Amino acid sequence: MKRFLILFALFLSAIAVAQSWETGYDEALSLAEETDRPLIVVFSGSDWCAPCIKLEREIWQAKDFQEYAAGHFVLYRADFPKKKKNRLSEELSRENGELSDKFNPNGYFPLVVLVNSKEQVLGTTSYKNLSPEEYITHLNSFLR
Protein backbone atom coordinates (compact mmCIF):
# COMPACT_ATOMS: atom_id res chain seq x y z
CA MET A 1 0.00 0.00 0.00
CA LYS A 2 2.83 2.41 0.84
CA ARG A 3 4.40 1.74 -2.54
CA PHE A 4 1.12 2.58 -4.27
CA LEU A 5 0.76 5.85 -2.35
CA ILE A 6 4.34 6.85 -3.18
CA LEU A 7 3.82 6.08 -6.87
CA PHE A 8 0.54 7.99 -6.85
CA ALA A 9 2.19 11.01 -5.22
CA LEU A 10 4.99 10.93 -7.81
CA PHE A 11 2.40 10.71 -10.58
CA LEU A 12 0.52 13.74 -9.23
CA SER A 13 3.72 15.76 -8.89
CA ALA A 14 4.65 14.92 -12.50
CA ILE A 15 1.24 16.15 -13.64
CA ALA A 16 1.66 19.38 -11.66
CA VAL A 17 5.04 20.06 -13.26
CA ALA A 18 3.76 19.23 -16.74
CA GLN A 19 0.88 21.68 -16.34
CA SER A 20 3.05 24.71 -15.64
CA TRP A 21 2.14 26.57 -18.87
CA GLU A 22 -0.66 29.10 -18.45
CA THR A 23 -3.53 28.83 -20.93
CA GLY A 24 -4.40 32.52 -21.17
CA TYR A 25 -2.11 35.51 -21.47
CA ASP A 26 -4.11 37.72 -19.09
CA GLU A 27 -4.06 34.97 -16.46
CA ALA A 28 -0.32 34.51 -16.98
CA LEU A 29 0.29 38.24 -16.61
CA SER A 30 -1.82 38.37 -13.43
CA LEU A 31 0.09 35.41 -12.00
CA ALA A 32 3.40 37.10 -12.83
CA GLU A 33 2.23 40.16 -10.89
CA GLU A 34 0.90 38.15 -7.93
CA THR A 35 4.06 36.06 -7.62
CA ASP A 36 6.54 38.78 -8.63
CA ARG A 37 8.04 36.45 -11.24
CA PRO A 38 8.98 37.29 -14.83
CA LEU A 39 6.72 36.03 -17.60
CA ILE A 40 8.23 34.02 -20.43
CA VAL A 41 6.21 34.37 -23.63
CA VAL A 42 7.22 31.82 -26.25
CA PHE A 43 6.24 32.41 -29.88
CA SER A 44 6.16 28.98 -31.44
CA GLY A 45 5.08 27.14 -34.54
CA SER A 46 4.61 23.85 -32.74
CA ASP A 47 3.85 21.72 -35.79
CA TRP A 48 6.00 23.27 -38.51
CA CYS A 49 8.99 25.12 -37.02
CA ALA A 50 11.96 22.76 -36.50
CA PRO A 51 13.82 25.00 -34.00
CA CYS A 52 10.53 25.48 -32.07
CA ILE A 53 10.10 21.73 -31.83
CA LYS A 54 13.71 21.32 -30.66
CA LEU A 55 13.24 24.05 -28.04
CA GLU A 56 10.11 22.30 -26.81
CA ARG A 57 11.74 18.88 -26.63
CA GLU A 58 15.19 19.87 -25.35
CA ILE A 59 14.35 22.70 -22.96
CA TRP A 60 10.67 23.18 -22.10
CA GLN A 61 10.01 19.45 -21.55
CA ALA A 62 13.22 18.87 -19.60
CA LYS A 63 12.58 17.97 -15.98
CA ASP A 64 15.34 20.31 -14.76
CA PHE A 65 13.78 23.26 -16.58
CA GLN A 66 10.24 22.45 -15.47
CA GLU A 67 11.25 22.15 -11.83
CA TYR A 68 13.20 25.41 -11.91
CA ALA A 69 10.56 27.31 -13.87
CA ALA A 70 7.81 26.27 -11.44
CA GLY A 71 9.33 28.52 -8.79
CA HIS A 72 10.97 31.23 -10.89
CA PHE A 73 8.95 31.98 -14.03
CA VAL A 74 5.41 32.17 -15.33
CA LEU A 75 5.15 30.49 -18.74
CA TYR A 76 2.88 31.28 -21.67
CA ARG A 77 3.10 29.82 -25.17
CA ALA A 78 1.74 31.85 -28.09
CA ASP A 79 1.45 29.06 -30.63
CA PHE A 80 0.88 29.46 -34.35
CA PRO A 81 0.23 25.94 -35.66
CA LYS A 82 -0.42 25.37 -39.36
CA LYS A 83 -1.94 21.89 -39.41
CA LYS A 84 -5.71 21.77 -39.37
CA LYS A 85 -5.77 19.19 -36.55
CA ASN A 86 -3.83 21.60 -34.29
CA ARG A 87 -5.93 24.66 -35.03
CA LEU A 88 -6.49 26.96 -32.07
CA SER A 89 -9.78 28.51 -31.05
CA GLU A 90 -10.63 31.80 -32.73
CA GLU A 91 -10.21 33.64 -29.43
CA LEU A 92 -6.78 32.13 -28.73
CA SER A 93 -5.63 32.78 -32.31
CA ARG A 94 -6.68 36.42 -31.98
CA GLU A 95 -4.98 36.77 -28.59
CA ASN A 96 -1.75 35.23 -29.92
CA GLY A 97 -1.89 37.50 -32.97
CA GLU A 98 -2.20 40.57 -30.75
CA LEU A 99 0.74 39.37 -28.65
CA SER A 100 2.76 38.87 -31.80
CA ASP A 101 1.99 42.43 -32.92
CA LYS A 102 3.15 43.67 -29.53
CA PHE A 103 6.23 41.51 -28.83
CA ASN A 104 7.14 39.80 -32.12
CA PRO A 105 6.34 42.22 -34.96
CA ASN A 106 8.98 40.66 -37.24
CA GLY A 107 7.45 37.21 -36.87
CA TYR A 108 10.54 35.34 -35.67
CA PHE A 109 10.10 31.71 -34.64
CA PRO A 110 10.88 30.62 -32.09
CA LEU A 111 11.08 33.80 -30.09
CA VAL A 112 11.33 33.77 -26.31
CA VAL A 113 10.43 37.09 -24.67
CA LEU A 114 10.87 37.77 -20.96
CA VAL A 115 8.60 40.49 -19.63
CA ASN A 116 7.80 41.82 -16.19
CA SER A 117 4.27 42.24 -14.86
CA LYS A 118 4.11 45.72 -16.44
CA GLU A 119 4.82 44.12 -19.84
CA GLN A 120 8.24 45.73 -20.11
CA VAL A 121 10.55 43.54 -22.18
CA LEU A 122 13.48 42.33 -20.10
CA GLY A 123 15.10 40.38 -22.92
CA THR A 124 14.56 38.25 -26.00
CA THR A 125 16.19 35.07 -27.20
CA SER A 126 15.52 32.04 -29.33
CA TYR A 127 16.58 28.42 -29.63
CA LYS A 128 20.14 27.88 -28.47
CA ASN A 129 22.03 24.60 -28.51
CA LEU A 130 22.31 24.59 -24.71
CA SER A 131 21.51 22.18 -21.91
CA PRO A 132 18.45 23.01 -19.79
CA GLU A 133 20.76 24.26 -17.03
CA GLU A 134 22.66 26.49 -19.46
CA TYR A 135 19.40 27.79 -20.91
CA ILE A 136 18.19 28.69 -17.40
CA THR A 137 21.42 30.63 -16.85
CA HIS A 138 20.91 32.32 -20.22
CA LEU A 139 17.34 33.36 -19.29
CA ASN A 140 18.44 34.58 -15.87
CA SER A 141 21.05 36.82 -17.50
CA PHE A 142 18.17 39.07 -18.63
CA LEU A 143 17.01 39.55 -15.04
CA ARG A 144 20.10 41.28 -13.70
* DSSP one-letter code for 87: P
Cβ neighbours of residue 142 under 8 Å, at least 6 residues apart?
A: 38, 114, 122, 123, 125
Domain-located, residue 11: no
- Report whether pLDDT(11) > 50: no
Domain for residue 26, yes or no?
yes
Q: Is the pLDDT of residue 12 over 50?
A: no
Query: What pLDDT shows up at residue 8?
Result: 46
- For residue 71, pLDDT over 90 is answered with yes
pLDDT (tens digit, 9 = 90+) per residue, 38-64? Answer: 999 999 999 999 999 999 999 999 999
- Whether the per-residue pLDDT at 16 is higher than 60: the answer is no
- 5 found inside a domain: no
Instruction: Give the total number of structural domains in the chain.
Output: 1
Q: Which residue has the higher pLDDT, 4 or 90?
A: 90
For residue 122, give its domain range.
Answer: 21-143
pLDDT band at 125 (very low <50, low <70, confident <90, very high): very high
Q: Is residue 137 part of a domain?
A: yes
Please check whether residue 4 lies inside any domain of the structure: no
Residue 109 contacts residue 81 (beta carbons within 8 Å): no
Report the CATH number at residue 63.
3.40.30.10
The CA distances from residue 91 to 22, 25, 67, 84, 88, in Å, are 15, 12, 30, 16, 8
pTM: predicted TM-score of the whole model, two decimal places:
0.86
Task: Say if 2 falls within a structural domain.
Answer: no
Average pLDDT of span 62-70: 98
